[in-house]
Amino acid sequence: MPARTVLQQADISRALTRMAHEILESNRGTDGLILLGIPTRGVVLARRIAHLITQFSGESVPTGALDVTLYRDDLRRNPTRVPSPTQVPSGGIDGKTVVLVDDVLYSGRTIRAALDALGDIGRPRVVRLAVLVDRGHRELPIRPDFVGKNLPSSQEERINVRLTDIDGEEFISIGGTS
Amino acid sequence: MRHLLSTRDLSRDQAVAILDVAEDMADVATREVKKLPALRGKTVVNLFFEDSTRTRISFEAAAKRLSADVINFSAKGSSVSKGESLKDTAQTLAAMGADAVVVRHPSSGAPSVLAQSGWIDAGIVNAGDGTHEHPTQALLDAFTIRRRLHRSAARGRDLSGTTVTIVGDILHSRVARSNVWLLTTLGATVRLVAPPTLLPVGISRWPVQIGYDLDEAVSAGSDVVMMLRIQAERMHAAFFPNAREYSRRWGLDDARLARLGASTIVMHPGPMNRGLEISSGAADSTQSTVREQVSNGVSVRMAVLYLLLSGEREELS
């Protein structure tokens, strides 16, 4: 089955805009807010959401990257994975509201690893989860707080997220057996 | 990567990849919790047939920071002193379920014997074998140079355009050999300065420039000057008249340090003979990376153990 595009660039921008408003609303402003993206596409999304929040509120939001490679539970089942850099904003995360940002939420195992990684860096006041796509099939009791788009999918299908900053084109497609 | 036996086997991209992972590992050392769960349930054996403090402790710290279990084995006080062979020792370790064995041995080639023997299935890391190689030392030296030169923009870069001068006992130095291969692979120019008696036979085939006069080398300038230890335990012949003459001609004293200029990095793999190959002034100066080398050693060894032990084991090729 050929892949079919489900979200165009404009749809992605709209979803991110709504998520930025929702994050602002639930946090009642930008106080103590930190966005941490999970490499690679989560980092780009975190930066974009932070930029939008700055536009709407006039206040800047610290962003960073949280690499979860060394905390994964499937390290010994796959070929060696090379970690990406972790960048935590200079103020640290203790007592802050940390919003984890990723592109696709699937089994929930990446987020489990991210929560463990976060615990070794500090102790945030609250941790929230923002994902661009929630495709279902959770294997752990984890749920997102901010969702760009719910995409019910079959486990055989592939969700493909492309972002301009990384891929030079922007859309989300579904289908094509992986 | 299945084993790390020699820096000669590493390609430029492999070497840069190890250094990049080491950057991530170095970040861990700055955190509140200096531990990663990546190697939980793996067992690393430090098999040391030769004395060592910093290398063994460094590997131990690296394995523990990755949550692996560590077993330290030193030949003194073990069955090796009763005459047990390397084969039997290896098979004992295999039976105990070792996933990686870090070997230091006085005989060149002992780690590669272990890796190719089939006595043990574990990944083998060479932690210094005779006068052959000491690959993790060269990796940590390259890492230290790259960090000093490029700071936070070091990821992904090699050492092209850098000149490294290695001074001293090249003949007995496994550190020098590993560094020559690795630094050359990474694009650096390597210059060796030593008394002619302390250069090995066949050195003309190495990819290096050779000099005999340290003052000439100091005048020529260099990005990095790496002083080697005079290895008294391997000095079984008269390689130079006496220590004072060696120190005067090939030692990095305060006067030579002053002529080198403030941007030159001064390195020493340790342990240092202060006053012989390096003066206290040079060892403790701000240009000296001696202590950085020790802390970077842990990060680099974490990277090596992680790349060796995580993931499915590669099939023997």
CB contact under 8 A, B32 and A82: no
Q: Give the gap in angstroms from C-alpha B253 to the nearest C-alpha of chain A.
A: 40
Give chain A's mean pLDDT.
Answer: 93
CATH topology of domain B135-292: Rossmann fold (3.40.50)
Give chain B's mean pLDDT.
Answer: 92
Residue B31 contacts A, CB cutoff 8 Å:
yes
Q: Is A18 left (phi over 0), alpha (psi -120 to 50) or beta?
A: alpha
The residue-averaged pLDDT of B130-141 equals 96
Nearest CA in chain B to A82: B21
The residue-averaged pLDDT of A108-118 equals 96
CATH topology of domain A13-73+86-153: Rossmann fold (3.40.50)
Q: Report chain B residues whose CB lies below 8 A from the CB of A119.
A: 33
pLDDT of A178 strictly over 60: no
For residue B231, the model assigns a pLDDT of 84
Q: Give the gap in angstroms from C-alpha A17 to the nearest C-alpha of chain B.
A: 32
Is B285 in contact with B261 (CB distance < 8 Å)? Answer: no
Confidence of residue B314 (pLDDT cuts 50, 70, 90): low
The residue-averaged pLDDT of B24-28 equals 92
Confidence of residue B75 (pLDDT cuts 50, 70, 90): confident
From edge to edge, which strands make up the β-sheet containing A33-37?
A: A63-65, A33-37, A97-105, A126-134, A146-150
For residue B317, the model assigns a pLDDT of 35
For residue B315, the model assigns a pLDDT of 46
Q: How many CA atoms lie within 13 A of A88 on its CB side?
A: 21
For residue B158, the model assigns a pLDDT of 96
The CB-based long-range contact list for A160-163 (8 Å cut-off, 24+ gap) reads A160/A3, A161/A41, A161/A103, A161/A104, A161/A132, A161/A133, A163/A12, A163/A41, A163/A44, A163/A45, A163/A103
Residue to substitute from A66, A82, A84, interface B, most B β-carbons within 10 A: A82
Q: Give the gap in angstroms from C-alpha B92 to the nearest C-alpha of chain A.
A: 24
Q: Report chain A residues whose CB lies below 8 A from the CB of B31.
A: 120-121
Higher pLDDT, B152 or A127: A127
Q: Which CATH superfamily is domain B7-132+295-309 in?
A: Aspartate/ornithine carbamoyltransferase (3.40.50.1370)
Domain extents for chain B? Answer: 7-132+295-309, 135-292
The residue-averaged pLDDT of A100-115 equals 96
pLDDT of A97 strictly over 80: yes
Complex ipTM, two decimals? 0.83
